[in-house]
Chain A
Amino acid sequence: MLYDRYRGPLLGYVLRSVRGDYEYAEDVVQETMMRAWRNSPALDPDRAGPWLFTVARHLVISGHRRRAARPAEVPIAEREFASGDDDIDRVLQAWQVAEVLRGLSRDHRQVIIELFYRRRTVSETADQLGIPIGTVKSRSFYALQALRAALEERGVTGS
């Protein structure tokens, strides 16, 4: 089971980065697992490690579900994020992601912005960009592949 295998390592990894806040670390691990399950019910446990850690790390960096009941918590500076046992060496800064996005082709960047950042549906995006729905879909697929390749080039995907 994915959960059994990765819960311990993920928890340890996140705990180091949230200064031992166990409840918050558990939240992050739960959310990571939920996303794993939601995205891929049959995710191969042998291959899941790198991206599970990536998802967990980004949940922490983005302050996912920070508990309002704990005002004493300070935002985690990215440089304080422990690199731990995972393969990812660099901490990804927001400006670096923006830079990678700018480096994509205009077609690829457009569909990512419309679908992801502006939260438009496929058909809304098709209308907005004046292209067929099928093109929006295939273009978004290639856009993500291009994004991944660009991130790999910068050494940030850790796979």
Chain B
Amino acid sequence: MGCLITSSIGAYLLDAVDPAEREQISQHHTWCDECRDEVIDLAALPSILHHVFAGRRRTATPADTRDDDSLA
């Protein structure tokens, strides 16, 4: 893997990076083929992950997930 930014893409797509880094990564993959390919490959996943709790409650709270043995 050639690009150093690529390993941050997971956190970026999971919306766990701060605004400054988010902006940096967002701009970066407009010109970096490797990172853009990875973003394209993985970008649908957050929507799919959201679906695990969509049917039960609007948002999962830390207490809910901590007690949820099915995901422990």
Contacts and interface: CB of A to CB of B under 8 A. Distances in A.
Given A42-B30, A122-B16, A144 B42 contact: yes
B44 A42 contact: no
A143 B51 contact: no
A120 interface: yes
From DSSP, what is the main secondary structure of chain B's interface residues?
helix
Interface in B32-46: 36, 38-46
Is the interface on chain B under 10, 10 to 19, 20 to 34, or 35 or more residues? 35 or more
Interface stretch (A6-14, A18-26, A145-153): A145-153
Interface of B: 6-11, 13-18, 26-27, 29-31, 36, 38-56, 60, 62, 65, 70-71
From DSSP, what is the main secondary structure of chain A's interface residues?
helix
Given A55-B47, A102-B71, A140 B14 contact: yes
B25 to A, nearest CB: 10
Contact of B10 (A35, A41, A140, A151): A140
Contact of B45 (A118, A136, A137, A148): A148
